[in-house]
Amino acid sequence: MKTKFARTLIIVVLIWLLAMIGFGIHRFTSVSVRKADQHAVEDLFISVSAYLDKNGKYPGATEEVSFDMDLQSDYILMRDLTGDRTARDLLDSEGNLFRLRFDTNNDDVIYSPIDNETLKNRVLIWSAGRDRKFETWRDNARSW
């Protein structure tokens, strides 16, 4: 009876250990930034910067405002950016829109969405990452 209990206990512990190892591997692989999303962020950053240089205003930003605007890579922004009336939402590999923050009050400072520190950027772009959460940053692609 005692050995049967010990054997059962060993099996339960082994299953638990294997589950923890599996969970650890899953965690390890899920924190890295997807290369495709990082490339998409960089391409979008280049497109927005080129649009800004050419037009003297940010895509999707209607007029000068006293605050920095947050936008998403939806079809409205992509239509404005590309000039293509059939433009579609730009999605990351998890199906989420990218987020963009523009220095639309033109003070050469943007507040970081990570920690609210001031950054000397005109454009910030980021993704939600593999976990589809914008507030968890280890897996998010970003432009800065």
Given the rule CB under 5 A, which residues bind Ca ion?
A: 129, 131, 133, 136, 139-140
Contact in structure between 139 and 130 (CB atoms under 8 Å): yes
Q: Which amino acid is at 102?
A: F
Residue nearest to Ca ion (CB): 129
Which helix (H) or strand (E) is 123 found in, with range?
A: strand 123-126
Residue 10, both tokens: 């060993």
| Min CB(53)–Ca ion separation in Å | 30
| Min CB(31)–Ca ion separation in Å | 9
Nearer to Ca ion among residue 81 and residue 100 (C-beta): 100
Q: Which sign, positive or negative, has the C-alpha torsion 134, 138, 142, 144?
A: positive
Nearer to Ca ion among residue 104 and residue 140 (C-beta): 140
Question: Cα–chain-centroid distance for residue 27?
Answer: 18
| Min CB(36)–Ca ion separation in Å | 15
Nearer to Ca ion among residue 59 and residue 129 (C-beta): 129
